[in-house]
C-alpha cells in the first residue's frame, strides 16, 4: 500500500480527502503545518507528498525545497487556488511533480497521484522497470540539457503540447528531413532548434534562413556562396548557407516563398549533396540535415504548380504540425510566466506575476497571433506595470471588453453546435470535466446538465 503525506491546514477538507484516498487503498498520514511535516518526513517513508501551497507557518514551496534536498526521488504535488497558478508554475520549475487547482474532482486527483507514483523510482519494481526508469531519466536529462541550450523552448502540459514533444523526441535522433507547419507566431523556429539540439548534430551549426526575405535574384549567392568578382557587387568571397551549415542543420523558414527557379537549385543541392559557389569551378561537398517550415498549404501549391512536387516529398520525410496557442489552454500561464521573466530582464523590472483577473482574460482570449502576440502583450504590460502584479489596466483595450473575449457562454447560445463544443472540450482535456468546464467558461454543474441533456457519456 502506497503511503501519502497530506499537508493541509483545513482540517475538515483534509479529513474528507483522507477518507476518499483510503477508500482507494492508499495509506494517508495527515499534517497541518510545515514543521509537523518535516518531523514526519524524518520518521516515516512516504511515496508521495501532497501539500497545500498556503500553510500557517509558511508555504508549500519551502517544504518542496526541503524535500528535494533530502528526498530527491519523492514526488511533491501542490494544491493551489485559481489565483496561485503562476506561483505553482514556478514551483514546478523548482522540482514539483505537478499542481492541482481547487476545487478539483476525484478523477483528476487520482490521475495525478497515479502519474506521480509511476514516475517515482522508489515505488517501482526491480529489473525491467528499473531499466525503463533509467531510460526515462536519461531522456529527461537530455531534455533538460536541451532546454538549457534552448531557453525559448517551454515544455507544456497540454495534450497538444505533449503530442508535439513526442514527435520531436521521435524524429530528433534521425537525419530525416522535417517539414514544420503551423500558423504565424506558433514557434516553428523554436521547434526546429529543439530538434537540432536533441540530434547527433547538436555540436555543429544551426543556420536559420528566412526564405521570404531573400530576393530571388540573389538566392543562389545566399544559399551557395560566391567568389570575389563573380558579378557586379561581389567585392569579397561569400560562404553560402549550405556551406555554413555543413555537418549541422539548415533551417529554411517560409520555404513556400522560394521562386520556382530557386526550388530547382535547392532540389539539385539536396540530391547531389554538393554545391558550387557562383564564379567557382570547384564543387563543395556538404552534409546537412534540412528542416523547413511554412504557414502555407504546400500541397495546394503543388496542385497549383507553384511548388515542385519532387521537392515537396524531399522536404516532407516527416511532418510536424505546431498547434495554435488556443489549442494549448493549459500552457498559457506557463508561457506567460516565461515571457514575463524575459520582459523583466529586458526592461530591468521586477514584476512578480499576474492578477487572477488577468489570468482569466488570458485563458478566455483566442490569441490569433499565438505566442508572438502573447510575448508582445506581456512585454508591453510589464513596461506599464508599477506594482508587483500585472493588472487588467496594463493590457491592450481588446482585453478590457467582453466582446473581444473567446467566451464559452457566448458559444453556448448557438444551440446548433453546443453538443460539438462540449465534446471537443472534453476531448481536449482527456474527459476531465473540471478542466472542460473551465475551458468552456461554465460551471461544472452546467456542464454535467448539458452532458445529460445531450446524452454524452
Q: For position 36, which CATH number holds? A: 3.40.50.2300
State yes or no: pLDDT of 447 exceeds 90: no
The reply to whether 118 and 15 lie within a common domain is yes
The reply to whether 234 and 111 lie within a common domain is no
- Count of C-beta atoms within a 10 Å radius of residue 248: 19
Handedness of CA 221, 222, 227, 232 (dihedral sign): positive
The full DSSP string for 68-96 is HHH-TTS-EEEEE-GGGHHHHHHHHHTT-
The reply to whether 178 and 313 lie within a common domain is yes
pLDDT at 266: 93
For residue 443, give its domain range: 408-453
Please indicate whether residue 168 or residue 149 has the higher confidence score (pLDDT).
168
pLDDT at 306: 92
Please indicate whether residue 53 or residue 320 has the higher confidence score (pLDDT).
320
Residue 74 placed within a domain: yes
* First-to-final CA distance of the chain: 32
Please indicate whether residue 24 or residue 81 has the higher confidence score (pLDDT).
24
Per-range mean pLDDT, top range of 203-207, 401-405, 414-418, 443-447 = 203-207
pLDDT tier for residue 114 given thresholds of 50, 70 and 90: confident
- Name the strand (E) or helix (H) holding 255: none
Residue 245 placed within a domain: yes
The residues, any chain, with a CB within 8 Å of residue 271's CB and separated by 6 or more, are 314
pLDDT at 106: 72
pLDDT tier for residue 129 given thresholds of 50, 70 and 90: very low
The reply to whether 364 and 424 lie within a common domain is no
- Name the strand (E) or helix (H) holding 273: none
* CA diameter of the chain: 84
pLDDT at 346: 92
pLDDT at 90: 67
| CATH number of the domain bearing residue 432 | 1.10.10
- Tally the C-alpha atoms within 13 A of residue 118's C-alpha that lie toward its C-beta: 8
Let me know: does 388 contact 375? Beta carbons within 8 Å: no
pLDDT at 354: 85
- 3-state SS assignment for residue 115: helix
The reply to whether 179 and 276 lie within a common domain is yes
State yes or no: pLDDT of 408 exceeds 90: no
Per-range mean pLDDT, top range of 82-96, 212-226, 294-308 = 294-308
Let me know: does 11 contact 32? Beta carbons within 8 Å: yes
CA distance 287 to 357: 52
C-alpha cell at 77: 504535488
State yes or no: pLDDT of 348 exceeds 60: yes
- Count of C-beta atoms within a 10 Å radius of residue 381: 24
State yes or no: pLDDT of 150 exceeds 70: no
State yes or no: pLDDT of 143 exceeds 60: no
| CATH number of the domain bearing residue 343 | 1.10.8.60
pLDDT tier for residue 86 given thresholds of 50, 70 and 90: low
pLDDT at 444: 72
Per-range mean pLDDT, top range of 29-38, 217-226, 246-255 = 246-255
- Across 232-236, 319-323, 378-382, least confident range: 232-236
- Across 4-8, 129-133, 366-370, least confident range: 129-133
Residue 42 placed within a domain: yes
CA distance 347 to 218: 38
pLDDT tier for residue 78 given thresholds of 50, 70 and 90: confident
pLDDT tier for residue 153 given thresholds of 50, 70 and 90: low
CA distance 431 to 110: 14
Total of domains in the chain: 4
- Across 8-12, 291-295, 297-301, least confident range: 8-12
The reply to whether 333 and 430 lie within a common domain is no
The reply to whether 202 and 276 lie within a common domain is yes
Please indicate whether residue 93 or residue 204 has the higher confidence score (pLDDT).
204
CA distance 261 to 258: 8
State yes or no: pLDDT of 137 exceeds 70: no
C-alpha cell at 127: 529489473
pLDDT at 316: 95
The reply to whether 246 and 376 lie within a common domain is no
- 3-state SS assignment for residue 280: coil
Residue 143 placed within a domain: no
The reply to whether 188 and 273 lie within a common domain is yes
- Count of C-beta atoms within a 10 Å radius of residue 306: 14
User: Partners of 180 in the beta sheet?
Assistant: 293, 320
pLDDT at 196: 95
The reply to whether 119 and 234 lie within a common domain is no
State yes or no: pLDDT of 151 exceeds 70: no
Say if residue 176 is exposed, middle or buried (CB neighbours under 10 Å; 0-12, 13-18, 19+): middle
The reply to whether 354 and 260 lie within a common domain is no
CA distance 315 to 297: 14
- At which of 321, 342, 361 does a domain end? 321
Closest to 18 measured CA to CA, from 60, 26, 35, 434 = 26
C-alpha cell at 189: 523556429
- 3-state SS assignment for residue 443: coil
Residue 390 placed within a domain: yes
The reply to whether 45 and 118 lie within a common domain is yes
| E runs forming strands in 278-388 | 284-285, 289-294, 318-321, 353-354
Residue 275 placed within a domain: yes
Residue 205 placed within a domain: yes
**pTM, full prediction:** 0.61
Residue 156 placed within a domain: no
pLDDT in tens, 189-244: 999 999 999 999 999 999 999 988 888 888 888 899 888 877 777 778 888 899 99
State yes or no: pLDDT of 4 exceeds 80: yes
Please indicate whether residue 137 or residue 259 has the higher confidence score (pLDDT).
259
**What HEC string does 174-223 produce?**
CCCCEEEECCCCCCHHHHHHHHHHCCCCCCCCEEEEEHHHCCHHHHHHHH
Average pLDDT of the chain, as a whole number: 81
- At which of 86, 101, 123 does a domain end? 123
C-alpha cell at 219: 538566392
State yes or no: pLDDT of 105 exceeds 60: yes
What percent of the chain is modeled with pLDDT above 90?
A: 34
Please indicate whether residue 369 or residue 404 has the higher confidence score (pLDDT).
369
User: Partners of 253 in the beta sheet?
Assistant: 210
The full DSSP string for 326-373 is GG-GGGHHHHHHHHHHHHHHHHT----EE-HHHHHHHHHS--TTHHHH
pLDDT tier for residue 181 given thresholds of 50, 70 and 90: very high
Let me know: does 351 contact 340? Beta carbons within 8 Å: yes
pLDDT tier for residue 423 given thresholds of 50, 70 and 90: confident
- Name the strand (E) or helix (H) holding 156: none
Q: What is the CA radius of gyration of the chain?
A: 26
Amino acid at each position: 500500500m502506497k503511503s501519502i503525506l497530506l499537508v493541509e491546514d483545513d482540517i475538515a477538507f483534509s479529513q474528507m480527502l483522507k477518507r476518499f484516498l483510503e477508500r482507494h487503498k492508499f495509506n494517508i498520514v495527515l499534517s497541518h503545518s510545515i514543521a509537523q511535516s518535516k518531523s514526519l518526513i524524518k520518521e516515516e517513508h512516504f511515496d508521495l507528498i501532497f501539500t497545500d501551497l498556503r500553510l500557517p507557518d509558511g508555504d508549500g514551496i519551502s517544504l518542496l525545497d526541503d524535500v528535494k534536498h533530502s528526498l530527491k526521488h519523492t514526488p511533491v504535488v501542490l494544491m493551489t487556488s485559481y489565483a496561485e497558478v503562476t506561483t505553482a508554475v514556478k514551483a514546478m520549475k523548482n522540482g514539483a511533480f505537478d499542481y492541482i487547482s481547487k476545487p478539483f474532482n476525484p478523477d483528476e486527483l487520482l490521475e495525478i497521484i497515479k502519474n506521480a507514483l509511476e514516475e517515482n523510482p522508489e515505488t517501482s519494481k526491480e529489473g525491467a522497470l528499473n531499466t525503463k526508469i533509467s531510460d526515462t531519466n536519461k531522456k529527461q536529462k537530455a531534455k533538460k540539457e536541451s532546454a538549457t541550450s534552448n531557453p525559448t523552448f517551454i515544455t507544456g502540459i497540454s495534450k497538444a503540447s505533449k503530442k508535439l514533444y513526442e514527435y520531436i523526441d521521435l524524429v530528433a535522433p534521425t537525419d530525416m528531413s522535417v517539414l514544420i507547419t503551423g500558423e504565424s507566431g506558433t514557434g516553428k523556429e523554436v521547434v526546429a532548434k529543439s530538434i537540432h539540439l536533441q540530434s547527433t548534430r547538436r555540436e555543429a551549426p544551426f543556420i536559420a534562413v528566412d526564405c521570404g526575405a531573400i530576393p530571388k535574384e540573389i538566392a543562389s549567392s545566399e544559399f551557395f556562396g560566391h567568389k570575389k568578382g563573380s558579378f557586379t557587387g561581389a567585392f569579397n568571397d561569400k560562404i553560402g548557407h549550405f556551406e555554413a551549415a555543413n555537418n549541422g542543420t539548415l533551417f529554411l523558414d517560409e520555404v513556400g516563398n522560394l521562386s520556382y527557379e530557386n526550388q530547382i537549385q535547392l532540389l539539385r543541392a539536396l540530391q547531389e549533396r554538393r554545391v558550387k559557389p557562383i564564379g567557382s569551378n570547384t564543387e563543395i561537398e556538404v552534409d546537412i540535415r534540412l528542416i523547413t517550415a511554412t504557414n502555407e498549404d504546400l500541397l495546394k501549391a503543388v496542385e497549383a504548380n507553384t511548388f515542385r512536387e519532387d521537392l515537396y516529398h524531399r522536404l516532407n520525410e516527416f511532418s510536424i504540425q505546431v498547434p495554435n496557442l488556443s489549442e494549448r489552454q493549459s500552457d498559457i500561464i506557463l508561457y506567460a510566466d516565461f515571457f514575463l521573466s524575459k520582459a523583466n530582464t529586458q526592461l530591468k523590472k521586477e514584476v512578480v506575476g499576474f492578477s487572477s483577473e488577468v489570468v482569466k482574460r488570458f485563458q478566455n482570449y483566442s490569441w490569433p497571433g499565438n505566442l508572438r502576440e502573447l510575448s508582445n502583450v506581456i512585454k508591453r504590460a510589464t513596461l506599464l506595470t508599477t506594482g508587483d502584479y500585472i493588472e487588467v489596466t496594463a493590457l491592450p483595450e481588446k482585453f478590457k471588453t467582453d466582446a473581444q473575449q473567446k467566451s464559452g457562454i457566448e458559444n453556448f447560445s448557438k444551440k446548433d453546435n453546443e453538443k460539438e463544443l462540449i465534446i471537443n472540450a472534453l476531448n481536449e482535456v482527456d474527459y476531465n470535466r473540471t478542466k472542460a468546464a473551465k475551458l468552456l467558461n461554465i460551471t461544472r454543474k452546467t456542464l454535467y446538465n448539458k452532458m445529460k441533456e445531450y446524452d454524452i457519456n
